[in-house]
């Protein structure tokens, strides 16, 4: 079974600075998808970014980018120019190719200091 | 597009009663929906997979007789917590899966408090 590990329960960063959240996963599959979800205080889960394992290029969405290292099974999220609205729980998630279930990591609580 | 609603957003019920939570995909059809439970400061725990027109698939350790799931149409799944106890108090989140892409879209969640 696949597992996802987020080793940083909490992170904090100064506003306008850059922060990187870590995620590692364990799988024997070669085709899969990886996601970062944001859960702000409203508790609504919001998709931040997704990465297809077959793509070597790292996904980018505005200030959010990932560092996908397939061989190392690592999938970190970089948030540039941090804003107060980025404060949230961030969950890394894995989905097998052809499957619908998501496997979530434990989450990282990100605090933005003004 | 891809909006999922949940109703109610908050509910308080007395111990021993049952409460129903609805999950609707508003602008797409979803053969599959998921129900999660989330404890404070913890990750989402998958409870069950809801399939339209068939029985739900429950994760190990989830009591299927306590958490009844009905997926009556391609846009509606319901979770009924039967004979609720205070330990059932939690935040329940549903997601709906787009049939084509398998992307999951999440509802805003329901906070259940059992007194």
* Chain-chain contact of B97 with A100 (C-beta, under 8 angstroms): yes
Cis preceding-peptide flag for B8 (omega within 30 of 0) = yes
For every one of its 115 residues, what pLDDT tens digit does chain B have, with 9 covering 90 and above? Answer: 789 999 999 999 999 999 999 999 999 999 899 999 999 989 999 999 998 888 999 999 999 999 999 998 999 999 999 999 999 999 999 999 987 778 899 999 999 999 9
Nearest to B111 by CA among A42, A39, A9: A42
Shortest distance, CA A72 to any CA of chain B (angstroms): 24
Q: Which of B82, B87, B83 is nearest to B68 (CA)?
A: B82
Is A95 in CB contact (< 8 Å) with chain B? yes
In chain A, residues with a C-beta closer than 8 Å to the C-beta of B103 are: 47
Give tens-digit pLDDT for B73-88: 999 999 999 999 999 9
Q: Which of A44, A46, A91 sits opposite B43 (nearest CB)?
A: A91
Provide the b/e sequence for B23-62 (b: ≥16 CB within 10 Å): bbbeebebbbbbbbbbeeeebbbbbbbbbbeeebebeeeb
Neighbours of A83 (CB within 10 A): 12
Partners of residue A23 on adjacent β-strands: none
pLDDT for A4: 98
Name the average pLDDT for chain A. Answer: 96
Burial of B107 (0-12, 13-18, 19+ CB in 10 A): buried
Distance CA A45, CA A12 (A): 20
* Predicted local distance difference test score (pLDDT) of residue B100: 75
Chain B CB within 8 Å of residue A78 CB? no
- Given a cut of 90, whether residue A1 has pLDDT beyond it is no
pLDDT at residue number B67: 97
Tens of pLDDT, residue by residue over A72-109, are 999 999 999 999 999 999 999 999 998 889 999 999 99
Q: What is the pLDDT of residues A3-51, one digit of tens each?
A: 999 999 999 999 999 999 999 999 999 999 999 999 999 999 999 999 9
Nearest in space to A43 (alpha carbons), one of B60, B13, B112, B87:
B112
**C-alpha distance from A3 to closest chain B C-alpha (Å):** 13
């Amino acid at each position: 079974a696949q597992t996802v590990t987020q080793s940083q329960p909490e992170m904090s960063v100064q506003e306008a600075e850059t922060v990187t959240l870590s995620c590692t996963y364990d799988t024997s599959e070669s085709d899969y998808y990886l996601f970062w979800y944001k859960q702000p205080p409203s508790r609504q889960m919001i998709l931040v970014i997704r990465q297809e394992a077959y793509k070597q290029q790292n996904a980018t969405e505005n200030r959010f980018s990932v560092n996908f290292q397939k061989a190392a099974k690592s999938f970190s999220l970089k948030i540039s120019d941090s804003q107060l609205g980025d404060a949230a729980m961030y969950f890394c998630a894995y989905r097998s190719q052809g499957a619908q279930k998501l496997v979530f990591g434990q989450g990282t609580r990100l605090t933005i200091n003004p | 597009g891809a909006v999922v609603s949940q109703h109610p957003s908050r509910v308080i019920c007395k111990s021993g009663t049952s409460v129903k939570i609805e999950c609707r995909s508003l602008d797409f059809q979803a053969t599959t929906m998921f129900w999660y439970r989330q404890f404070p400061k913890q990750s989402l725990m998958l409870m069950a997979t809801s399939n339209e027109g068939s029985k739900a698939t429950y994760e190990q350790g989830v009591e299927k007789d306590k958490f009844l799931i009905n997926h009556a149409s391609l846009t509606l799944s319901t979770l009924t917590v039967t004979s609720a106890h205070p330990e059932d108090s939690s935040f329940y989140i549903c997601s709906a899966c787009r049939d084509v892409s398998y992307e999951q879209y999440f509802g805003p969640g329901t906070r259940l408090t059992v007194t």
